Amino acid sequence: MKVKKVSIGHMKDFPVQAGKKVHVNGVEIAVFRLLNGDIRAVENRCPHRGGPLSEGMVSGDFVFCPLHEYKVDLCDGQVQEPDAGCVRTYPVEVEGDEVKICLVEEKVGV
């Protein structure tokens, strides 16, 4: 496995407590900048009915899906009770002012 880092912009491009949709390698990812400055990235697709999490309301480490308000933990992607499910999370690195998503590339057909 190889980790590929893909630049998705600079810190100023990500408003605090808001989500932003980015496309990386054909995948739509929701990127959030939390109050404490941390950046989190999850798949931009709610496990309930595919709602765009990037348009949800951010509260602490959580985002509420804009469609039916599933509460998703932005650290581990887990949907909070009483609902259930999980979204994929992506590691993020900030180098200087540049924000990068880390993707794991798996070799196919080896």
Binding positions for ligand FES, rule: CB under 6 A: 46, 48-51, 65, 67-70
Taking Cα atoms as reference points, which of 55, 39, 92, 75 lies closest to residue 64?
55
Is the CB of 69 or the CB of 76 nearer to ligand FES? 69
Specify whether the backbone of 69 is left (phi greater than 0), alpha (psi in -120 to 50) or beta: left
Is the CB of 32 or the CB of 99 nearer to ligand FES? 32
Is the CB of 5 or the CB of 71 nearer to ligand FES? 71
In the sheet that holds 62-64, the strands lie side by side as: 57-59, 62-64, 71-73
